[in-house]
Amino acid sequence: MELLQSVGKSTDESEFYTPYPAGYKKDKTKFVVVFGTVISGLGKGIFSSSLAKLLKDKGLKVSPIKLEGYLNIDSGTLNPFRHGEVFVLDDGMETDMDLGTYERVLDQNLGRKNFATSGQIYSTILNKERAGDYLGRDVQMIPHVTGEVKLRLRELAMNTDADVVFVEVGGTVGDIENSFYIEALRELSYEEGPGQVCFACLCYILAPPALGEQKSKAAQLGIKRLMEYGIHPDVIACRAEDEVGLKVREKISLFTNVPVECVFSMHDLSSIYLLPENMRAEGLDDQVVEQLGLKDRCDAVEEEKHRIAWQAYVEKIQAEKPTVRIGVTGKYVSLRDSYASIIKAIEHSGIANEVEVEIVWIETTDVNEENVDEILGGVDGIIVPGGFGKRGTEGKILCIEHARKTGLPYLGICLGFQMAVIEFARNVCGLADATSTELDPETTHPVISILPDQKLIEGLGGNMRLGGQDVQITPGTIAYDLYGQKEQIRQRFRHRYEVDPSYIEQFEAAGLVFSGRHPEHPIMQVLELPKKMHPYFVAAQYHPELTSRPLNPQPMFVGLIEAAKTRAGK
């Protein structure tokens, strides 16, 4: 059997269409593929990133990719209520929240090559068809769509020089929208050969209260559905509230022909950062290394160094700590996944400050002049996060005014930065109707607006500032100290509106400090009040939460929690 290895070439003599990147070498990169069964939301990204971390700790180079079934080109237009937060990568790619999990756990930046949707796959194929790349062939799900999926995985392997590519298939086995991904991965395993691909399956173990015991039948049927696609799992992770007992794991092992030592209990933990150590204790990482023949590439000294560092972090998580209360004043608070990265950044910074952070969720549409003092009276600091649209913005402004006047530690993010400018303009500078043109296009004081060069770009998303941008930091400011006295940093943006430059001089004369700016253009990116005016009042036009990592917490969040800890101590 001869597989065609150049993109777009097919013949009447062969039905095979398997494009390979130029220079691709089999055996160089192994693949770990993660599926979910029974129900969605099992934590495939957490499982995959934790296992990837363990292999990375051994000195292996890993690269994850999330395969999404929806037809959107990216996650940028998805409502947070439907799909959780939009996570922005450094290169500007808008993805779902699982990419944030990978970045945090692996402590590495990812890019658009690490995220694929059905919309991307189909668009690429249709563009090739219009360009005549298929030489008159009728374009079909097999082999052309599955071939494009395999090509992307192999290109990722080559472009990142990975020892192991971790592939997470979105949704649940049996969903019609991800069936072509599953078929492509079956083909990939066949073409790469034995010992090149490890299939991992997450299943849900039911524990009906009325029965008082764990039941595995739904899990068995879910795994059977995967096997019907021609894929036999090598590793099975059993999700459950409580630890999955040996009896249940043995039953699943017998049903699937997967050795019981490869059937892992992935029960609920107090923190997702405890999962890697649980996996390591069960030897799951060593099982995968053995199955993929990677032992010769592992470095035991490197592994021990990372194990000690992570264990120290885990011990900090588990230690008894005083509590501080941080209010998150948002407009999507009914769905916590809308603020997943903010929650994690708070966790990281709380551990760095040796405090337990209790998050108080505050729906800003419920905040008014009569109740704002009462609502914020029991918190030690607040965050006003990002968002789009008018709903809840007046409540955000009232929260900011309260924080500014009472000395309550404050961190504003994106829209929270813009609302801080509006609040300062109204209540300090006397511009009573100051607002954003997003909220009122006819305002006489558009202190926040789209800059002229942005107005030339049409279309939803077309005028967004997306991804990593340089920020010039002013020496001697709070931001300068927070970022280790660096005069230039790189942060990730996702916004359209800016501070109107014509008001900056007036704001600065009244005491507002713009401590972070674009290196070349009059774009304000960090604001603060001097410590003589306020203990901690800082806001960023960018999204600092996107770059927070467990062992390297984001400085703005660290500063907020430190100030809140001081306030709580008083």
Q: Is the pLDDT of residue 247 over 70?
A: yes
Helices (H) and strands (E) in the chain, counts: 19, 21
Write down the pTM of the prediction: 0.91
Q: How far is CA 502 from CA 95, 112, 421, 444, 450, in A?
A: 35, 36, 13, 13, 13
- Give all strands of the β-sheet with 524-528 in edge-to-edge order: 356-363, 323-330, 381-384, 410-413, 537-540, 524-528, 513-517, 465-473, 488-495
| All CATH 3.40.50.880 domain ranges in the chain, comma separated | 323-569
Sequence-distant (≥ 6) Cβ neighbours of residue 114 within 8 angstroms = 63, 64, 65, 66, 89, 95, 99, 102, 156
Beta strands (DSSP E) in 474-533 are 488-495, 498-499, 513-517, 524-528
Q: How many CB atoms within 10 Å of residue 549?
A: 16
CATH top-level class of 30-76+83-313? alpha beta
pLDDT at 463: 62
What's 522's DSSP letter?
S
State yes or no: cis peptide before 522, omega within 30 of 0.
no
Residue 379 · residue 327 · CB < 8 Å = yes
Say whether 491 sits in a helix, a strand or coil: strand
**What number of CA atoms fall less than 13 Å from residue 386's CA on the CB side?**
25
Beta strands (DSSP E) in 170-242 are 197-204, 235-240
Q: How many CB atoms within 10 Å of residue 133?
A: 17
Name the β-bridge partners of 384: 412
Q: Residue 511 carries which side chain, given as an amino acid letter?
A: G
Range 39-45, long-range pairs (CB < 8 A, 24+ positions): 39/172, 39/204, 40/171, 40/172, 42/202, 42/203, 42/204, 42/239, 43/202, 43/239, 43/266, 43/272, 44/98, 44/168, 44/169, 44/170, 44/202, 45/97, 45/98, 45/101, 45/102, 45/168
**496-537 pLDDT tens trace:** 899 999 999 999 999 999 999 999 988 999 999 999 999 999
Please state the separation of Cα 467 from the chain's center in Å.
13
Structural tokens at position 381: 């600091």
**379-417 pLDDT tens trace:** 999 999 987 777 778 999 999 999 999 999 999 999 999
Residue 316 dihedral angles phi and psi, to the nearest 5°: -65, -40
Which sequence positions are flagged as catalytic? 414, 543, 545
pLDDT at 19: 84
Q: What is the mean pLDDT of the chain?
A: 91
Question: Architecture of 323-569 per CATH?
Answer: 3-Layer(aba) Sandwich (3.40)
Residue 419 · residue 412 · CB < 8 Å = yes
User: CA-to-CA distance for 242 and 270, rounded, in angstroms?
Assistant: 12
**429-483 pLDDT tens trace:** 999 999 999 888 989 999 999 865 555 443 444 467 889 999 999 999 999 999 9
| All CATH 3.40.50.300 domain ranges in the chain, comma separated | 30-76+83-313
